[in-house]
Amino acid sequence: MKFRSLLFLAIIPLLSGCSADTFRLFNPVGAVGSVEWRFTVIDVGVMLLIILPTTVMIAVFVWRYRKSRNAEYDPSWSHSLGLELMMWGIPFLTVIFLGYASYRSTMLVNPYNPAAINYTDPANPPLQVDVITTDWQWVFIYPSLGIATVDDLVVPAGRPIKFWLTSTSVTNDFYIPEVAPMIDVMPGMRTMDGFQVNHPGHYEGFSADFSGAGFSWMQFSTRILAKPDFDKWVAATQGSPNQLSYAAFTKLAEPTVNVGAKPAYFSHADAGLFMQVYNAARAGTVYAIPEQLNIVTSPVDYTQVKNGTN
């Protein structure tokens, strides 16, 4: 991009910066996201009931009691029992209300078992997806379908999705802004998350917790497909020639920057691959970072040199 166009574009934010879909968190989709947005609005609304009058009063006092205006001056007034009781009491009541709202919403969106999603409906059982982060890619395994992908999360609309998450190396954070709240992805530990979205859509997911030099390139696409489209996609993936055994996985888990989050598909993934990775991490398996990766100029270059591409 030329420098002159950079300058010109500086005025664009005023014109285009405010389009609605830019603010992803204002447009949540799915059961969990909409609960979170509802409580955001409640919390901000209640807080503004206190913050706005306070802001206005400070501004008014600052303007009104300037020395030059010769307004009323009371040099000894520094105590008022009624006011002081009020200034403890109002925040106290607010915290009681918001504390309840917090408890309520935390139960509703608890990532391990969100009350906002019905996991127990036999007519619509949850789809389990195992998520493993490596340095620096996402591996999605569908144990019930026997397939796996890299950097491409594809799920059916209308069905509850249940995630198990772990990492081979360091901590990441699973995040799809409109759809899935953040949850840490840690080596040697298993966390859970879930969502349910009833309409097809395409969203961008990425790691939210810094995980080293390739972190900025750690995106995955999130495609929510209508049931027939999802079934077609599963069938196509099951025809892929690639297979993901544990041995193949250990190669995949070597430090790699996947520029552009190019997806890969596997027609077969080892049963229990998730638990194998989890147990290996607990037993001390690490995918160490070579020192030159911290010192060489760019991990992108490093990966390309290592893979013989470029």
Partner 1 sequence: MFVHLQGPYSFLLGRFTLAAIPYNNAIIQFAFAFTAIAALLVIGPVLYFRKIPYLFREWFTTVDHKKIGVMYIILGLVMMLRGFVDGLMIRTQQVMADGPHSPGFLEAAHGYLPPSHFDQIYSSHGTLMIIFAATPILTGLGNIIVPLQIGARDMAFPTLNAISLWLTAVGAALIMVSLFVGDFSAAGWVGLIPLTELDFSPSTGVDYWMWAIQISSVGTTLNAINVIATIVTMRAPGMRWDRLPIFTWTTLSTSIIGLTSFPILGVALALLGADRYLGTHFFTAGMGGNLMLYTNLFWIWGHPEVYFLVLPAFGIISEVIPAFSEKPLFGYITMVAATFAIAGISWTVWLHHFFTMGAGPLVNSFFSVATMVVGIPTGVKVFNWMFTLYRGRLTFATPMLWAVGGLFLLLIGGLTGMMLAIPAINYTVHNSVFVIAHFHCMVLLIVYAAFAAVSFWFPKVFGFRLDETTGKLFFWSFSAGTILVFTAMFGLGFMGETRRLDYLFNTQWWPALVIEEIGIGFYCLSLLMFFVMLFVSIRDRVKNAATADPWGTARTLEWLTHSPVPFYNFAVTPHVNSRDELAWRYANNLASTVPDHFEEIHMPRNTPVPIIIGALAFGFGFGLIWRIWWLTALSLLGIIAVVIYRSFARDKGYHLSAEVMTQLEREPPLGVVSESQYLSEPPLGASGARPLGHAGAH
Residues 9-28 binding partner 1 (CB under 8 A) are 9-10, 12-13, 16-17, 22-26, 28
**Residues from 177 through 236 that contact partner 1 (CB under 8 A):** 177-178, 181-184, 186-189, 191-192, 204, 206-217, 219
Phi/psi at 227 (5° precision): -50, -50
**Residues from 40 through 79 that contact partner 1 (CB under 8 A):** 40, 43-44, 47-48, 50-51, 54-55, 57-58, 61-62, 65-67, 71-79
C-alpha distances out from residue 204 to 113, 154, 286, Å: 24, 12, 28
Provide the minimum distance between the beta carbon of 263 and partner 1 in the complex, in angstroms, as a whole number. 15
* Length of the chain (residues): 310
Label the pairing between strands 127-133 and 161-167. Answer: parallel
Strands in 138-142's sheet, in edge-to-edge order, are: 191-195, 161-167, 127-133, 138-142, 147-150, 264-266
Residue range at the interface with partner 1 (CB under 8 A); choices 144-152, 226-234, 246-254, 275-283: 275-283
Please return the burial class of 197, using the count of CB atoms within 10 Å of its CB with bins 0-12, 13-18 and 19+: buried
**Residues from 290 through 309 that contact partner 1 (CB under 8 A):** 290-291, 293-301
Residue range at the interface with partner 1 (CB under 8 A); choices 36-44, 232-240, 241-249, 269-277: 36-44
**Residues from 108 through 127 that contact partner 1 (CB under 8 A):** 108-112
Q: Which one, 163 or 233, has the nearer CB to partner 1?
A: 163
Give the per-residue contact string, 128-167, with partner 1 (x = CB under 8 A; - = no): ---------------------------------------x
Which residue shows structure tokens 């190019």?
262
Residue 288, both tokens: 């160490």
Residue 192, both tokens: 């859970």
Question: Which residue in 162, 168, 177, 181 sits closest to 133, CA to CA?
Answer: 168
Please return the burial class of 294, using the count of CB atoms within 10 Å of its CB with bins 0-12, 13-18 and 19+: exposed
* Longest Cα–Cα distance in the chain: 85
254 touching partner 1, by CB under 8 A: no
Provide the minimum distance between the beta carbon of 232 and partner 1 in the complex, in angstroms, as a whole number. 28
Provide the minimum distance between the beta carbon of 247 and partner 1 in the complex, in angstroms, as a whole number. 19
Q: Which one, 59 or 236, has the nearer CB to partner 1?
A: 59
Answer for the pair 151, 263: CB distance below 8 angstroms, yes or no.
yes
Q: Which one, 221 or 238, has the nearer CB to partner 1?
A: 221
Among 82, 92, 251, 310, binds partner 1 (CB under 8 A): 92
Q: Which one, 161 or 208, has the nearer CB to partner 1?
A: 208
Residue range at the interface with partner 1 (CB under 8 A); choices 5-13, 123-131, 244-252, 262-270: 5-13
Provide the minimum distance between the beta carbon of 268 and partner 1 in the complex, in angstroms, as a whole number. 27
Output the CA torsion sign for 115, 120, 121, 127: positive
Q: Which one, 70 or 241, has the nearer CB to partner 1?
A: 70
Answer for the pair 116, 31: CB distance below 8 angstroms, yes or no.
yes
Provide the minimum distance between the beta carbon of 194 and partner 1 in the complex, in angstroms, as a whole number. 12
Please return the burial class of 165, using the count of CB atoms within 10 Å of its CB with bins 0-12, 13-18 and 19+: buried
